[in-house]
Every structure is written in C-alpha cells, then in structure tokens.
Amino acid sequence: MLMHILSLESVSKNFGIRPLFENVSLGFDSADRVGVVGVNGSGKTTFLRLIAGEEVADTGRIVFAEGVSIGYLPQNPPFDPAQSVLDAVFAASDERTKLLLDYERACRELAASGIDEPRLLNRVSELAHRLETSGAWELETNARTVLGKLGISDTDALMGTLSGGQRKRVALAHALIANPQLLILDEPTNHLDAETITWLEDYLARYRGALLLVTHDRYFLDGVTGRILEIDRGVVQPFDGNYAY
C-alpha cells in the first residue's frame, strides 16, 4: 500500500545571490524511485541535502510523514578515523545495531584481556542471548555480506586506514543496511567497478522503500528509477519514466 512520505511546499534555495531552484512543490510516495538530473552546479547535491536535513531551505518548508526514517549517502561522507568498519556501518542506527556494537566491543575486550575473565564472559554471553532473541544476528550477517559485495572484507580495520573510495563504500553499506523508508544516494556508483554496480542495481531493485538519487551513470539511473526530476535554471521539472524514457 502506497503511503505519502514527503512534501516540498514552495521551497526555494539560493547559492549566494544565485537561485538554485525556486518555489518547488513536490510530493514523494513510499514506492517512488526518483533520479535527480541537471548540469554541474545546477543544485542536485543541494536538493538532496535539503531533503536529508543537512541544509535548510531559504523559503518554504519540507514536511515528512510522522516517523519516516531516512538513510543518506553524501558525496563525501564524514568519518571517524578511530572507528572500525563495523562500528561505522552500525553507527547511529536502531537498538539491534547497538546490541551488535556492544557485542563486538565486548568480544574485542575479552580477546585483548588474554584470560577468561568471568565478568567479560558473562557480558558476552548476555549480549549473545539478547542478539538471538532480537533477531540481530541476521542484521550482522547482512552487513558483512553487503560489505563483502562492496569489496570490504576486514570489518575490524580502522576507518582512518582506508582509502577515500573504501570509506565511501563503507558509508554506502551503512545507508543500505539501515533499510530506511527513504534512501537518498549522492553518486553511489563512484569508486565501484562494473560488477559491483550491477550488484547494487539488483540490491536496490529488491529494496522496498523510496529512493532518491543523483548519479552520472545513465545506465544505472535507467535501471533503478521510474521518475526523473530535472533541475534547470532554477526550475525543478518532474518527468514520469526513467532517464532514457
């Protein structure tokens, strides 16, 4: 059943004195697959950042249905260099992911102690039981699978030791496994090879939420979207169908 999740009401945004887009009024449903296109500098990334809550409109307002969850992949994701890959993937997510993080940390602490300390053993056992009853093991399995498909095999590696492309892929995994109702992706195919792009296209085909993305990969855009928003000289024009259509 389709649900209305988001409305833009007379939204305008300027870059300095130059208007990026003016008086935009649009709606998004729970099954929308929307690609945002336009020339460089037209405001595509700013449009995504507005909806993701990273920027504020100069005029108008953006209204979400109550309780709508958002996953956002920026072009250049921030990162904590001291954080492990797995910690970064599960950061700021739901209660099950917090349990997984606690379990991973307890296991690392137990391994580092070099002894079977009763307190740590009990803590690991307690967390394992809570993971079992909450169904969070499946979430961890999915996270490791997604990371593997994206070419990240060492989940204990620190984010500060990764290349920029690897960090972008970890951030993409974070957005995907959160399984939000609205997934916002800014250039998700950057740093991905052809095989991984095909995998991502298939993954998004199975994803049941709404999708909003910017990409320079026109084949990928055609494969995952059913609606286009073109930003051109301050006007956001919607078109039904994918980019080729």
pLDDT at 91: 78
16, 41, 98, 112 from 20: Cα distances, Å: 9, 8, 39, 53
Most distant CA pair in the chain: distance in Å? 66
165 phi/psi in degrees, rounded to 5? -65, -40
Name which of 149, 148, 204 is nearest 176 in CA terms.
204
Does residue 14 sit in helix, strand or coil? strand
pLDDT at 244: 65
CA gap 86, 47 in Å, rounded: 30
CA gap 50, 69 in Å, rounded: 15
pLDDT at 104: 80
Instruction: Assess contact for 197 and 59: CB atoms under 8 A.
Output: no
Domain at 4-69+180-240: CATH code: 3.40.50.300
Sequence-ordered list of residues with C-beta below 8 angstroms from that of 154, at least 6 positions apart, any chain: 85
CA gap 101, 174 in Å, rounded: 13
Domain ranges of the chain: 4-69+180-240, 85-159
**What is this structure's pTM?**
0.85
Instruction: Assess contact for 2 and 29: CB atoms under 8 A.
Output: yes
CA gap 87, 152 in Å, rounded: 13
Tokens representing residue 176 in the block: 């995907």
pLDDT at 87: 85
Tens of pLDDT along the chain (245 residues) come to 678 999 999 999 998 888 899 999 999 999 999 999 999 988 999 999 999 999 999 999 999 999 899 999 999 999 999 999 988 998 766 677 777 778 888 888 888 877 677 888 888 888 888 877 776 777 778 889 999 999 999 998 999 999 999 999 999 999 998 888 999 999 999 999 999 999 999 999 999 999 999 999 999 999 999 999 999 988 999 998 777 65
CA atoms within 13 A on the CB side of 4: 5
CA atoms within 13 A on the CB side of 206: 8
Does residue 40 sit in helix, strand or coil? coil
